[in-house]
A and B are shown apart, each in its own frame.
Chain A
């Protein structure tokens, strides 16, 4: 017979939300909707230019510059250089997404393993790694990225390296905290006591358990990186024109903001939709993992 009593709060901590079927439906919608949006965006950026007659994003004709939206052959019109805006949005999104994915993969792989190793070994190793990361974190992130980007010269590859500089410490911290929590778990203690090799513990026990958390963080990280990459390009330190990126399109549009605000609106809208897609997917995944 159960004679233990739950704490008073749990007796009455009743979740005041929607009923079960509606909740379930809402939850799958919470994942499905942003995931669908992202599939659409990825498809448009990576597949559409291959299958549809989309004009080239650069080398436009000055004769057909600054055309209004829905001009023949130019869905969103053209910019002052005569380049097709829709095409620049797609190709710009392609390079922004490549940057964001690469940065997050680097952060996930390097930062994730750094944090896990740091927590797993503890002691001096942990202290040194964490102190070095503290320095990176105290470093104003965008400032560091600016300096690195400028010193390496603006290019897509350098933007990736520059942004990875500060995504690695963030991932490392998350993965370290997750690993530390894991260390107390009975199965971890058991694995250690039974003499399982460090490598095996890391690969078989730690990685699969902190994976979901890191993936969720990577989703939220995608949004953050997209915004910062845009900022770098906006300041002329990211992807160099004439190659399109949402950031440098916004910067270019700013020059004629009062006359042709749509030049700013289109890339801004694309950036917003992508970021909200990643953020919402990340939040929904987090809610699912935390079992709420």
Chain B
């Protein structure tokens, strides 16, 4: 495989990812330094004297030039040390792990729910286009794309937590404590994130499948073989749509990170989104910086992974097309 087109593609993409992550870190550093009113002031409260503030600043190394501080931070970051929180005085990396696990679980569940529903619904809709199910799925997904996720989340809370009391409105039960409790506490946030994704995937997949079924010659070839309609749809049309879907899922991950901030806030989940929001409000810019870098790496890696999967799965790229 050495020197194969897909391997070269991976190398190229990885190389392109490095300056992007670096750029993000510089940009974050610069933006955070624009914040009027520094962390020392924030920590000591309004009554602190200028001397106290200066002392704390020196202690935290805040008085050094920006470039030095950035390079210092970068040196640590390369070794997996993202600094020490200005507020909790704990290493940021220690806190990131468990919080990433919570956010990862919510987002993972959301992907499972959205794809698990969108794929069968689109297949059924494309099998009988313009029939009842197709029309319903189109109306739902079009409308759903216009609903803000926080609005949808509050509707879920109102219906399933307040009215029916099926799920807790807020809070998080760790997996180690209770599996069902964990799933119950994550159900509403996962559905809130999954719904817009479901709408998006259904719209894409349904129209891609229908376009293929009506317009592609290889579909005609497949039908001319005398194989059944489901086999044509699954083996020929869906197979091709799956490649596009993978790319879209990869690109979605970066928008999802934005969604976790607000959804974790609504449901009081101890995820990385909540961590970021708290850090922004306390101006704990070491933590903000760490969260943003983690987000950027996840985004870049997700896009890379989507490209890779695409390259591994699509033979036209795998074997180099002319």
**Are A and B close enough to touch in the complex, i.e. CB under 8 Å?**
yes
B305 located at the interface, meaning its Cβ lies under 8 Å from any Cβ of chain A in the complex: no
Query: Among A131, A147, A235, which residue has the most Cβ atoms of chain B within 10 A?
Result: A147
Q: Which of B3-11, B91-99, B214-222 contacts A (4 or more CB under 8 A)?
A: B214-222
Interface SS majority for chain A: helix
Q: Nearest Cβ in chain A — how far from B171, in angstroms?
A: 15
Q: Which residues of A contact B214 (CB under 8 A)?
A: 13-14, 16
B322 located at the interface, meaning its Cβ lies under 8 Å from any Cβ of chain A in the complex: no
B216 adjacent to A9 (CB under 8 Å): yes
A276 located at the interface, meaning its Cβ lies under 8 Å from any Cβ of chain B in the complex: yes
Q: Nearest Cβ in chain B — how far from A163, in angstroms?
A: 12
Q: Which of A1-54 contact B (CB under 8 A)?
A: 7-9, 12-14, 16-17
Q: Which of B11-50 contact A (CB under 8 A)?
A: 16, 19-21, 23-24, 27-28, 31-32, 34-36
CB closest chain-A residue, reference B158 = A261
B124 located at the interface, meaning its Cβ lies under 8 Å from any Cβ of chain A in the complex: no
Report how far A7 CA is from B220 CA in the complex, Å.
Answer: 12
Report how far A124 CA is from B33 CA in the complex, Å.
Answer: 30
Count of B interface residues, CB-CB < 8 Å:
56
Q: Which residues of B contact A9 (CB under 8 A)?
A: 215-217, 220
A231 adjacent to B257 (CB under 8 Å): no
CB closest chain-A residue, reference B17 = A138
B146 adjacent to A235 (CB under 8 Å): no
A108 located at the interface, meaning its Cβ lies under 8 Å from any Cβ of chain B in the complex: no
Count of A interface residues, CB-CB < 8 Å:
51
Q: Which residues of B contact A203 (CB under 8 A)?
A: none
Q: Which of B150-204 contact A (CB under 8 A)?
A: 150-151, 154-155, 157-158, 162
A148 adjacent to B147 (CB under 8 Å): no
Q: Which of B75-83, B111-119, B276-284 contacts A (4 or more CB under 8 A)?
A: B276-284
Q: A254-B266, A257-B158, A276-B146 are in contact. Are A142 and B20 (CB under 8 A)?
A: no
Q: A140-B258, A147-B288, A148-B31 are in contact. Are A135 and B23 (CB under 8 A)?
A: yes
Q: Which residues of A contact B299 (CB under 8 A)?
A: 138-140
Q: Which of A259-278 contact B (CB under 8 A)?
A: 261, 264, 268, 271-272, 275-276
Q: A235-B262, A254-B154 are in contact. Are A140 and B257 (CB under 8 A)?
A: yes
B295 located at the interface, meaning its Cβ lies under 8 Å from any Cβ of chain A in the complex: yes
Q: A9-B220, A131-B19 are in contact. Are A147 and B292 (CB under 8 A)?
A: yes
Q: Give the top 10 A-B pairs by smallest Cβ distance, nearest first.
A: A142-B258, A135-B23, A276-B146, A140-B295, A151-B35, A268-B151, A275-B146, A227-B148, A140-B257, A258-B162
